[in-house]
A and B are shown apart, each in its own frame.
Chain A
Amino acid sequence: MNRSVVLDLSKLPPHGLGTASLTWWGTLAFMLIEGTGFALSIVVYLYLMSLAPHWPLDAPPPDLLPGSGLTALLIVSLLPNMLIARWARQQNLAKVRIGLVIMSLLGVAPLFLRVLEFPAMHISWDQNAYGSIVWVMLGLHTTHILTDLVETLVLTCLMFSKHGDNPRRYGDVSDNAMYWNFVVATWLPMYVCLYWIPRL
């Protein structure tokens, strides 16, 4: 078959950023998968609650302090997270490096509070179905904090290496920031579900 060149693409940028980046869309798709998982865990919680004669089953409502502290910390972390996304768009290496160090610390800090959240539930996973679902919900979200933390740590190392100063890496940094927003956003309905619904 003959080919006739009708379009010149030589002036296109050699890498897409934002919505022109494939990884941006891929991150979005994975967020949809995981968001569905989070939503279903809340549905399971509400389903079990609807069957129970009283709720929580054989336990007092969870202590508010660790979970609320973690929620506040996650919300505060959004500010540096948004700044790092902006610095990544500006391809400002020095600021991105500082931002990644801060975000790494802000990925570690919630884990300390999360460790306190499990006992604050006053129930173990193997006591009853209420205990099972709250542990799984906390575990599911902790997995996401851990995953993003590892990714942030690797990116931090990467940005301090010779591979760092590259539009592709800045795209990775801003996708990672987007993913952290997702980790925070999915926690908020879970927080309401775990801590406030038992108080209704």
Chain B
Amino acid sequence: MIVRDEVEDLRDTALDEVQLDRRLSETWSTPTGLWGALSTVDHKIIGRRYIYTAFIFLALGGILALAMRLQLSEPEARFIGPDRYNQIFTMHGTNMMFLFAVPVMEAMAVYLVPLMVGTRNIAFPRLNAFSYWMYLAGGLLLWIAFAVDTGPDVGWFAYVPLSGPQYAAGKRADIWAQMITFTEVSALAVAVEIVVTVLKQRAPGMSLDRIPLFVWSMLVTSFLIILAMPAIMIASTALILDRLVGTHFFNPAEGGDVLLWQHLFWFFGHPEVYIIFLPAVGMVSTIVATFTRRPVFGYLAMVMALVTTGVLAFGLWVHHMFVAGLPRLGESFFTASSMAIAIPAGLQIFCWLATMWAGRPVFKTPFLFVIGFMVIFVIGGMTGVMVASVPFDTQVHDTYFVVAHFHYVLVGGAVFPLLGAIYYWFPKITGRMMSETLGRWTFGLIFTGFNLTFFPMHILGLQGMPRRIYTYQPEMPWSGLNMFISLSAVILAAGFLLFFIDAIRSAASGPAAPDNPWGASTLEWATSSPPLPYNFARLPVVGSLEPLSNNSETLSVAGGLSVDRRELIVTSVVEALPEARESSPGNSIWPLWSALATTVLLIWSIFTPWAVVWGSIPVSIALIGWFWPKGTPEDDT
């Protein structure tokens, strides 16, 4: 055994604050320059990258939405042809779900969870770097394919037989299926990191009942990802195999089944909605607590509601298939479970209302977005209960009513809280404040624009307008509302444009933010804005649910950690009792090489199955390079 010389092992207790900061900076900093940027494993840098990238995809997806609104603004418009329109609505949905909504929620967690649980880096930081590169590669694959007229055109859920070998010649459907592989690998990697960070790296004393609600929501979300995403990976792999090597999973002529695709897709696809929604719930709880100046009413009930939503999420998928002709008993079961999920959702709404009722609300921009969320999400929830009923769903299936419903749920339920969360955490992430004036304008434009755009779609749907049509005839009674919707979409787009302008301008020249500008009580506000590379000079010790509110002048911390290597604390799952000092891996370029090798394998395998054989050689080499010890203090013990 190697016996390390204790004298060389310098601990933080031997250093004053200035020396400590200097030593920790040497150990934890990311070197400047390109190589440093490519090899960094700092969760804050990677989290920021994830957030920026996801918002770029949001903007691109928004431009596609505007293009569709332009085409639909009048009957028999000729701005976009049917083939390009098919690509555009497929790209819009695919991009928003797989490249924006899920990644941006995980991105917020990558940045915030380690800070909120009081540790120095996310668990498996190199996997985190790998996951970002995979995400970026998947996004580039999709968008470059679209740019060269090979964008998928089979809808964001790519139903067979339309996406199968018979009806989707060319590589468009393969691009979709392989983009799934990229984004799911990335999402699963982050989910594992979050689970282990939350279970094992919480600050000493942060027992399960002291975990911030946002962290709880990300823990439940991560388990949903772990249990739901294998279904879509199996489905998309089976689709690629059907298309590439002639398997018959979805071919009824040879014993396959097209509904198998729908089952597998929605077994993932429904939990996906909660994968997007639950982090937003955590953001809402955080913002509500801060801006009402009191803890959220019913902490235990909120946690139980998160877990219950997570469990029920797996019992709803068939409600996407009500018109597929399934047995009636099955449909009744899924109607009941679809309505049942309104219970935990409603419970949370009432807990937030009670918190606001009992607190002293401060109506800053983040809180405005939370109020907007509550209004819009409740409307989306009510139309959700409506479409949970089979007879009603049969009428409005594949109409604009459903388009209105899921935009109310997803934009109301996730994007509003997310924008609130950006205004809320922007000072921590950038060290600068966003503009309160522009924030109010942004909220006003987005809230108004959103409702004017999407509410009339309910009516269009009831009037029978199907979704996914590239145009309609002048005889149909839809043209007036469509023009109204398209004009309203401009207001909505103006709101987002203002948001981007405010964010970019504030990041460059906004007023400097103090450590804790909102007077919040969770641990990310106990460090500087933006945080130093090591997050906390001394790791916090937690004695309550609100570590910064009981004694706001002094932070209880732990001592005795090494400063010669990247070191953090591993604690027990339930009580967060310290178990070990543990090293955290340093910067490495190998995650990038691994992601590049995996990218080559995955894209190559769209064209030949042999890519899996030959492509796995560079992947293996890169992974061995990644894991082989380099003799650094972090690799040693």
Contacts and interface: CB of A to CB of B under 8 A. Distances in A.
B342 interface: no
A50 B234 CA distance: 19
Ranked nearest first, the 6 interchain pairs of A and B with the lowest CB-CB distance are A10-B560, A16-B580, A129-B255, A132-B247, A126-B246, A20-B579
Given A25-B196, A91-B1, A2 B553 contact: yes
A15 B583 contact: yes
Interface string B212-242: 0000000000000011011101100110011
Contacts of B257: 47-48, 51, 129
A14 B628 contact: no
Contact of A9 (B229, B230, B569, B629): B569
A48 B234 CA distance: 15
Interface in B111-161: 123-124
Nearest to B636: A166
B264 A40 contact: yes
Given A4-B556, A168-B637, A128 B254 contact: yes
A86 B153 CA distance: 55
B582 A129 contact: no
A4 B557 contact: yes
Given A20-B570, A132-B241, A57 B581 contact: no
B591 to A, nearest CB: 15
A165 B637 CA distance: 10
Nearest to B188: A33
Interface string A47-83: 1100110000100000000000000000000000000
Given A4-B554, A37-B234, A126 B226 contact: no
Given A9-B569, A22-B570, A126-B247, 10 more contacts: A2-B553, A9-B560, A10-B561, A14-B583, A25-B195, A29-B196, A33-B226, A52-B255, A136-B237, A165-B2
B238 to A, nearest CB: 7
Number of contact residues on B: which range applies? 35 or more
Interface of A: 1-17, 19-22, 25-26, 29-30, 32-34, 36-37, 40-41, 44, 47-48, 51-52, 57, 91, 125-133, 135-136, 150, 154, 158, 163, 165-169
B81 interface: no
Interface string B480-521: 000000000000000000000000000000000001000000
Nearest to B184: A33
Contacts of B473: none
B196 A36 contact: no
Interface string B237-275: 110011001111101001111001001100000000000
B624 interface: yes
Contact of A12 (B124, B254, B538, B578): B578
A34 B579 CA distance: 28
Nearest to B253: A128
Interface string B1-21: 110100000010100000000
A58 B34 CA distance: 59
B192 interface: yes
A53 to B, nearest CB: 9
Given A26-B124, A40-B230, A168-B636, A15 B558 contact: no
A133 B538 contact: no
Contacts of A125: 241, 245-247
Contacts of B124: 22, 26
Nearest to B227: A36
A2 B620 CA distance: 48
A47 B262 CA distance: 13
A158 B188 CA distance: 28
B526 interface: yes
A26 B635 CA distance: 17
Given A14-B581, A22-B200, A32-B226, A158 B541 contact: no
Nearest to B254: A128
Nearest to B251: A129
Contacts of B230: 33-34, 36-37, 40
Contacts of B570: 16, 20-22
17 contacts: A3-B557, A9-B204, A10-B561, A14-B562, A14-B583, A15-B582, A21-B570, A25-B195, A26-B196, A32-B226, A33-B230, A36-B226, A36-B230, A40-B231, A47-B257, A127-B254, A129-B248
Contacts of A150: 620
B330 interface: no
Interface in B283-342: none
B581 A48 contact: no
B82 interface: no
A165 B227 CA distance: 37
A21 B227 CA distance: 23
Contact of B627 (A1, A32, A154): A154
Contacts of A2: 553-555
A91 to B, nearest CB: 7
A60 to B, nearest CB: 16
Given A1-B526, A12-B580, A163-B631, A136 B554 contact: no
B580 A20 contact: yes
Interface in B570-597: 570, 573, 578-583
A129 B554 CA distance: 66
Given A5-B557, A9-B578, A136 B247 contact: yes
